[in-house]
Amino acid sequence: MDHIAEIRAFNRFYTRQIGVLDASHLHTRFSLGEARIIYEVATRKTTSAAELARSLSLDPAYVSRTVGRLRDDGLLALTANSNDRRQSDISVTEAGAAAFNTLDSGSNRAVAELLVETDPMRRAALVAAMQTIRAIMGDAVAAAPLLLRPHRIGELGWLIHRQGLLYNQQFGWNIEFEALIAGLYRDYEQMPAIPPKALWVAERQSAIVGSVFVTPSEGREGTAQLRMLYVEPEARGLGIGAMLVEQAIKFARDSGYRRMRLWTQSILTSARKIYAAHGFAVVESKPHHSFGHDLVGEDWEREL
């Protein structure tokens, strides 16, 4: 796939959808640049031209000219900065606040009109794809709150699908791995409630970004088994894996288990770092041929 061509095609498509190329923004007298500056000043309450240029990645001279024009129109007010007399604090006037409200409500209507044309069952997928783009590109969406919750109907299949696909893409593991984990999730769901078991889905802004589950360890009384720790690639490095492991350990301890085990592979370095940081240690290591590759399986344990 030609990634550059695909990204450019998406940009052309989306700019048409949101009217970026229109002479006026949202049928107002403002250009897109002017509207964005009004929006940023109104939502920040007070800012500076330098900060606007940085946050919007705009030429400082362009920002200064636009701010000056909006000030002359009575929409922005400039006052001397008490800490640096070379800079001015920028805020909206009463007329500027009214212009912001017009632009903000107009933007909401425009997005609502876009969604009217979208299948309601696919809107969540659309929003999740947008969140993924923002996270991969380094936007502040990564700081959105994380929810750990039980799984819902349809999500076991999703977890099997995602992990089968991700491990194939990252390590080349074949469909044997997908078949294995399909059996593990089936076994989890069919297990009785006692001894205790639990599964957590990590959700951020309605998108699944990770998961883990705990079951009793077969043939080992008083031992819990940690299984299928996974984090979506765009959400890695945010501490989600550690949070899932911490939740699993707490559940096992609170449920009366005395120790905890897990099985992993020596090549899964990121997961192994998380396990080691949470008190697990390798108790057995054994080479095997699985999922189309020669691997080294590892059993890890820790006391609770």
Whether 294 shows a pLDDT value over 80: the answer reads: yes
Res. 23 pLDDT band, cuts 50 70 90: low
Report yes or no: 90 and 48 within 8 Å, Cβ to Cβ: yes
Q: Tell me how far apart the alpha carbons of residues 32 and 39 are, in angstroms, rounded to a whole number.
A: 10
Compute the distance between CA of residue 252 and CA of residue 9 in angstroms, rounded to an integer: 49
CA–CA separation, 8 and 271 (whole Å): 36
- Determine contact, residues 149/201, Cβ cutoff 8 Å: yes
Q: Give the model's confidence band at 224: pLDDT under 50 very low, under 70 low, under 90 confident, else very high.
A: very high
pLDDT level of residue 10 (50, 70, 90 thresholds): confident
Structure tokens at 296: 């080294």
Rounded to 5 degrees, φ, ψ at 124 are: -60, -40
The helix/strand/coil state of 25 is helix
Look at 140 and 223; give whichever has higher pLDDT. Answer: 223
Domains and CATH numbers, the chain: 3-117 (1.10.10.10), 147-303 (3.40.630.30)
Question: How far is 162 from 166, CA to CA, in rounded Å?
Answer: 6
Whether 142 has a pLDDT exceeding 70, the answer reads no
Question: Residue 290 and residue 299: Cα distance in Å, rounded?
Answer: 16
* Cβ 141 vs Cβ 135: under 8 Å: yes
Buried b (16+ CB within 10 A) or exposed e, 154-177: ebbeebbebbbeebbeeeebeeeb
What per-residue confidence (pLDDT) applies to 262? 97
Give the three-state DSSP class for 259.
Answer: strand
Given a cut of 60, whether residue 143 has pLDDT beyond it is no
Nearest to 259 by CA among 299, 207, 221: 221
Residue 283's identity, in one-letter code, is V
Burial of 218 (0-12, 13-18, 19+ CB in 10 A): exposed
Instruction: Work out the pLDDT band at 22, boundaries 50, 70, 90.
Output: low
Q: Would you say 264 and 220 are in contact if contact means Cβ atoms under 8 Å apart?
A: no
CA separation for the pair 224, 245 (Å, rounded): 13
